[in-house]
Amino acid sequence: MVKENNGKLIADNRKAYHDYIIGERLEAGIELAGTEVKSIRQGKVNLSDSYAAVNGGELWLYGMHISPYEQGNRFNKDPLRTRRLLMHKREILRLFGIVRQEGLTLVPTRLYFRHGRVKVEIGVARGKKNYDKRDSEARKQAARDIDIRIKERGRFTD
């Protein structure tokens, strides 16, 4: 399980919370090049269409876009290259078993710094159906309406 994050948040994958029901969340390190880390420090990263998968006994992150570092010249890597995630072997095997048996997906939910290192929060996700998306949107709207009514009531009673 992910411990409370005391690091700096770099990117948040809001699309994942819209498209998936996120269950268990795990923290993983990520293998990066130096220019990629510099670009991440500038906040030039996008997690929206990325996912993780176990391939060859290793955990890989696909589709994460890190913009090339402006002063990186020939040391820049491909922005969409697959990147290895760093976890213990037993955790990777457990995730592989969960994904294979239950038909779930591994989705990165957050990217952040912890003690000077880039970490990725991976969520075990189940895809939402359209009616689930409408239902969660209706609940959010109802909560917004309640908050607005409470604020209005407080404003007129003074």
Element (H, E) at 60: strand 58-62
Per-residue pLDDT reduced to its tens digit, 26-79: 999 998 888 888 888 888 898 888 989 888 889 999 988 888 888 877 777 777
pTM of the model: 0.73
Beta-bridged to residue 9, according to DSSP, are 112
Query: If we measure between CA atoms, which residue out of 140, 116, 146, 96 comes closest to residue 41?
Result: 116
**What size, in residues, is the chain?**
158
Query: If we measure between CA atoms, which residue out of 40, 54, 24, 21 comes closest to residue 119?
Result: 40
Give the three-state DSSP class for 43: coil
